Amino acid sequence: FPVTIGGNGRAKGAFQILSMHKDIQNRGNFTQAVIWTRDRLLRHKYKTNPRYAIMRHNGNPELRQVQNYAQRVLNREQKIKQLNIFK
């Protein structure tokens, strides 16, 4: 994957991880970004409350834009499940 920079230069990689996150060594490394994201979602209780975990991972759960983003992610997940391709 090419190195992607966003967030006014503060976010890096395919997952656009902000530079403020010091718990990941290489934000531009796809494998590290996947593992880091998975671990954060699980830490925020994704298995029992995926909507909250997604909101918490992406910012302040009180913000409408964060709430809307979480809902879009969950809607996509539901559409993928309906395709029934992961049997």
Instruction: List, as one string, the DSSP characters of 7-54.
Output: GGGTEETTTTEETT-TT-S-TT-HHHHHHHHHHHHHHTTTTT-HHHHH
pTM of the model: 0.74
pLDDT tens for 46-56 read 999 999 999 99
Stronger pLDDT, 59 or 55, i.e. the higher one: 55
pLDDT tens for 2-52 read 566 666 666 666 667 766 677 777 777 788 888 888 998 999 999 999 999
Helices 50-57, 30-43: axis angle to 10 degrees equals: 130
